[in-house]
Structure 1
Amino acid sequence: MRWPQTKLVTALVAVAFTTASPGHSDIQYPMSAATQCSLPGFVSNLSSDAEVYLPGSAQFDRFSERWSNLETPIVNITILPATDDVVKIVGAADKCNIPFLAYNGLHGSITTLGRMDWGIAINLRKLSGVTIAADGQTATIAGGTNSKVVIDELWAAGKQTVTGTCECVSYLGPALGGGHGWLQGHYGLMADQFVSLNIVLADGTLQTIDANSDLWWAMKGAGHNFGIVTSATIKIYPRTLTNWAIETLMFTGDKVKALYQAANDHLLRNGTQPADLINWSYWFNLPEVDPNNPIIAFYIIQEGVSVVDPAYTHPFRALSPLSATPNNGSYLDLARWVGISLDAPPCQNTGTANPRFPLYLPAYNATAQQEAYALFASATNASESSPFANSLFMFEGYPTQGVRGVSSASTAYAFRGRDNNLLVAPLVQYMPTDAARDREAAELGNRLRGILQGGSGRAEMHAYVNYAYGDEDLEGWYGHERWRRERLGKLKRKYDHRGRFSFYAPVV
């Protein structure tokens, strides 16, 4: 077990915490505790709207819990800041040498977070809101705003932008690592929408940065390493097409090779997948359909139509799926259609470990897909009581025109070329028990990823940092060119030489 430092333990012992009210106004401070580095002194400068929670309270558990319980950060105090409280928290923590970590929605599961073994959780959920500029060309998004809030607020105003696909993630968490989204074929990544950022740096100073700052490059792909963004002004676009359609096809595993070869031939088409077309698929166990092998859910999504063009669906219907279900609606329906809406199982905190092992691919290697499927099926077999029976293999095929339209050298996000058309990731879900189980899960995830990487013919790993497991190297997260590593290191030394922001995929 990792034990917290004496400094904060002493402060916690000196404080009586009252759980009757969510705010910190009910914490009773002894008169003798007056220094800034004691807990009373630390929180006394916060606004009256800030909330402070200590271990032993239901609120502490609620606001410090993680979506994935593998190598979770250990914190001794959770603060929900309001207004300019982030500046005060970071400034005081820097002076007092107390570690801190921003919490901002679900799905951050990288194992490097486990390096935090004491300190402060800064939960940004109170910093939520969307303000659309009078000219309708930009919007300012508060730092803790949920992706669904952004989607709904903009949609209601006749606008849209690139957001994360999953409704329960924050807007800014994915954006700082690049950020994939349904609309990226038109507009690029989430990070490509940044106009300016209000950011609290490691020393507690608040700065507004834009393309004139040397830090701008790093924030668009490696932003987790340089500060806490309290708000972002982003590009928004008119909502010109309101209708979307989907075809959901279910297959048994014997179709895996033919299915993914068809995806190459009829959807990806050597990196020319249309900007209005998306293909996704999942492998998962559904014992009532097949008790021994995972089934494949394959989604073809098209913008601006009421029925997906038969030119895209007919090659897959010809493979005799278990079912083929068309549906239509609007952009607001996409997350629900693919099972990642707020009320869907992937958006719940259930106590499980949820490590992912991401990889970018140029295309599907149908033979490698078949080999990976066989391993996934044997390792997750529910009928044999596998601890990994609830695991999921994700395949995300977004259009890439908008992503490739931005110069790769212009951002810390590096993987924009035609050889990164697909984002794939096994999600090995299990109830954590001991280190041996964790190692078994890691071995499985890396074996699955290794099969697909081997099938790509590419020696170097390209991994999406927002899905990262944690054992990937720096180049795998941020690009293999030497100048990228050197530029990130130089900026880190300039803006965070003490390494305050070093728990999420650190750049040094």
Structure 2
Amino acid sequence: MHASVLLGLLALAAVPGSARTLDYPFNIAARTPAAPDLTPAEIISQLGPQLSANSSIFADDDRRWANATERWQAYSRPNFVVVAEPATEADVPVIVKYANSYGIPFLAVNRGHGSTKTLGNMQNGIEISLAQLRSIQIAEDEKSALFGGGAFDGEVMDTLWEKGFVTGTGSCSCVSLMGPGLGGGHGRYQGFYGLIIDMLISLNVVLADGSTVTVNETSHPDLWWAMRGAGHNFGIVTSFEAEIHPRTVDEWFINRFIFTQDKLEAVFEVLNEQQQDGGQPQELMNYLAFSWDEEFSTTEPILDLFFHYVGSAEDAAPHLEPWEAIGPLSSTPQSLPYPEVPDATGTGLHSDMCQHGNTNMQFPFSIKEHNITATRQLWDYYVNVTTARPEFQQSIVVFQAYSLQGVQAVDPDSTAFPHRDDRIQCDVLVTYEPDDSLDEDAIAFGKQLRQHSADGHPGEEQHVYVNYAFGDEPVEQMYGYEPWRLERLRETKTKYDPDNVFRFYNSFM
């Protein structure tokens, strides 16, 4: 797999452990309903007439089924009996109320890139596809836009850029805007405007009982706090208003460097220097991956670095010099409009990174700075395993250094997102063609790679970016170690979802 697939991965840290036993008053019977006796045909005949004219509802004998249910992560995937695709926001509460009336679990699906193993707990349910809810309407004052809950990054980037605007998105064109946003939402513009959640103005939400609410600073403020960082646990966002900003440059400068393993220590010294004390300029981002790429070597992996700068090559030059001084194997500069950056860096809509069907397990971690000795050990282990096991050679280890200026400008207590001080987001992505016989070895491989980093940072809290958690990490690593955070989340959950209907995506209960 081409090394430039690294850009879509936005991740933080974890060492697996046990979750707490909870004493909250949840209706256990409602959380684990018996499988309904209804057949797919009966569900379609009953629910279909209740939906608006352009909605769809179908089962696995329909030609649309494979495309609607295919996922980026083949391991531990949800199982559905029907797909309901609403044409309007008003259809979503109808589907939720119907499912509740029969005790059928349901899961809202946007682009199908969620990778946590906990999604496999969804069995015999209804997929609520948001594929038709993709509208983008710029407000008259041109300071915000109203997005459909199914809007995805590529469409958002293209539409806004053409009109002279940008907003925060993830790094992959193919991924939804709100899916990652519910867990925080790291991305290339965070140095300027913060996380995706920091640009939100209002959410239109379908709650667990099928009721609809508008959620913002003054309407349901407790839910407003909780959904910005833990939103997968609280409802389905059918549309949302978010800030947009005038685009400040016409082109970004991108430089891809390829380094051989003998340059590893020098490379990570520069990464530490450029990220030191969180002082990385707003305009600067560095993404690096350990990966195999036959274009450069068939005998060992490479270090594949993408240098990003929001501006011209001339303005980027002082930050570029340390990388050139190391002596890269290859250096490829280019300037291009922002919507073309994903294609150029391996995370465009049609890139390898964005395609469904593989097993893609993620084992994220975050660090404040690189322990270069530990990084060398991580590299050696990665090389040894992938050399001995070629079936894992699509796997990569990613190190991402975004600017933190926009992220840290927001009060850390004002949202449920707990990790605003994490300087370097990292991820082990174990990728291979689906094969159940490889799953246990793949998990052991990913966890051991992550453990090498943890061993190199003794005494530090282990943090996990919830959007890319493997799914068995302690809840504190995903949602914060401060006791008040989890207490507040659980109180809000008890209020808005007492039957734990939204339980399939990295639950904190």
Deviation at 1:44, TM superposition (A): 1.9
Identify which of 264, 289, 308 aligns with 1:256: 264
Aligned with 2:184: secondary structure? coil
2:407 corresponding residue in structure 1: 403
Aligned with 2:170: secondary structure? coil
Identify which of 417, 422, 447 aligns with 2:424: 422
1:413 corresponding residue in structure 2: 417
Taking the TM superposition and a 5 Å limit, the aligned residue runs for 1:355-504 are 355-381=361-387, 384-417=388-421, 420-434=422-436, 436-504=437-505
Aligned with 1:55: secondary structure? coil
Deviation at 1:415, TM superposition (A): 0.3
Aligned with 1:269: secondary structure? helix
Deviation at 1:143, TM superposition (A): 0.3
Unaligned segments of structure 2, at least 5 residues: 1-32
Residue by residue, what CA displacement relative to the aligned partner does 1:24-44 show, whole Å, maximum 9, x if unpaired?
xxxxxxxxx6xxxx4422222
Taking the TM superposition and a 5 Å limit, the aligned residue runs for 1:288-367 are 288-307=295-314, 309-349=316-356, 351-367=357-373
Decide whether the 8 Å contact of 2:35 with 2:104 is kept in 1.
Answer: no
Identify which of 181, 185, 201 aligns with 1:195: 201
Identify which of 139, 150, 156 aligns with 1:150: 156
Q: Which amino acid aligns with 1:7?
A: P
Provide runs of 4+ in structure 1 moved above 4 Å: none
Question: Within the alignment, does 1:120 sit opposite 2:129 as a pair?
Answer: no
Q: Which moved more, 1:222-231 or 1:87-96?
A: 87-96
Deviation at 1:458, TM superposition (A): 4.0
Decide whether the 8 Å contact of 2:36 with 2:102 is kept in 1.
Answer: no
Report the Cα distance in structure 1 between the residues aligned to 2:369 and 2:389, rounded to whole angstroms. Answer: 33
Deviation at 1:159, TM superposition (A): 1.0
Q: Which amino acid aligns with 2:324?
A: R
Identify which of 115, 131, 152 aligns with 1:109: 115
Q: Which amino acid aligns with 1:429?
A: T
1:21 corresponding residue in structure 2: none
Decide whether the 8 Å contact of 2:256 with 2:305 is kept in 1.
Answer: yes
Report the Cα distance in structure 1 between the residues aligned to 2:170 and 2:35, rounded to whole angstroms. Answer: 40
Decide whether the 8 Å contact of 2:280 with 2:403 is kept in 1.
Answer: yes
Unaligned segments of structure 1, at least 5 residues: 16-32
Report the Cα distance in structure 2 between the residues aligned to 1:475 and 1:334, rounded to whole angstroms. Answer: 34
Question: Within the alignment, does 1:48 sit opposite 2:49 as a pair?
Answer: no
Residue by residue, what CA displacement relative to the aligned partner does 1:420-479 show, whole Å, maximum 9, x if unpaired?
111100100012322x52121111111111111222334421111111111111111111
Aligned with 1:485: secondary structure? helix
2:36 corresponding residue in structure 1: 7
Q: Which amino acid aligns with 2:46?
A: G
Report the Cα distance in structure 2 between the residues aligned to 1:59 and 1:160, rounded to whole angstroms. Answer: 33
Decide whether the 8 Å contact of 1:258 with 1:366 is kept in 2.
Answer: no
Report the Cα distance in structure 2 between the residues aligned to 1:6 and 1:200, rounded to whole angstroms. Answer: 23
Decide whether the 8 Å contact of 2:48 with 2:56 is kept in 1.
Answer: no
Q: Which amino acid aligns with 1:245?
A: F
Q: Which moved more, 1:163-172 or 1:250-259?
A: 250-259
Question: Within the alignment, does 1:60 sit opposite 2:65 as a pair?
Answer: yes
Deviation at 1:6, TM superposition (A): 5.0
**Which structure has more RCO (C-alpha within 8 Å, separation ≥ 6)?**
2
Aligned with 1:327: secondary structure? strand
Deviation at 1:125, TM superposition (A): 0.6
Decide whether the 8 Å contact of 1:5 with 1:118 is kept in 2.
Answer: no
Identity %: 38
Deviation at 1:306, TM superposition (A): 3.3
Report the Cα distance in structure 1 between the residues aligned to 2:61 and 2:379, rounded to whole angstroms. Answer: 44
2:18 corresponding residue in structure 1: none
Report the Cα distance in structure 2 between the residues aligned to 1:6 and 1:299, rounded to whole angstroms. Answer: 48
Cα 1:106–1:296 shift into 2, 3 Å: farther
1:79 corresponding residue in structure 2: 84
TM-score, normalised via structure 2 length: 0.90
1:275 corresponding residue in structure 2: 282
Residue by residue, what CA displacement relative to the aligned partner does 1:368-390 show, whole Å, maximum 9, x if unpaired?
11111111111112xx4522111
2:75 corresponding residue in structure 1: 70
Decide whether the 8 Å contact of 1:116 with 1:503 is kept in 2.
Answer: yes
2:233 corresponding residue in structure 1: 225
Q: CA RMSD in A?
A: 1.5
Report the Cα distance in structure 2 between the residues aligned to 1:397 and 1:458, rounded to whole angstroms. Answer: 22
Deviation at 1:283, TM superposition (A): 1.5
Decide whether the 8 Å contact of 1:307 with 1:327 is kept in 2.
Answer: no
Cα 1:92–1:106 shift into 2, 3 Å: closer
1:159 corresponding residue in structure 2: 165
Identify which of 215, 219, 224 aligns with 2:223: 215
Report the Cα distance in structure 2 between the residues aligned to 1:63 and 1:175, rounded to whole angstroms. Answer: 22
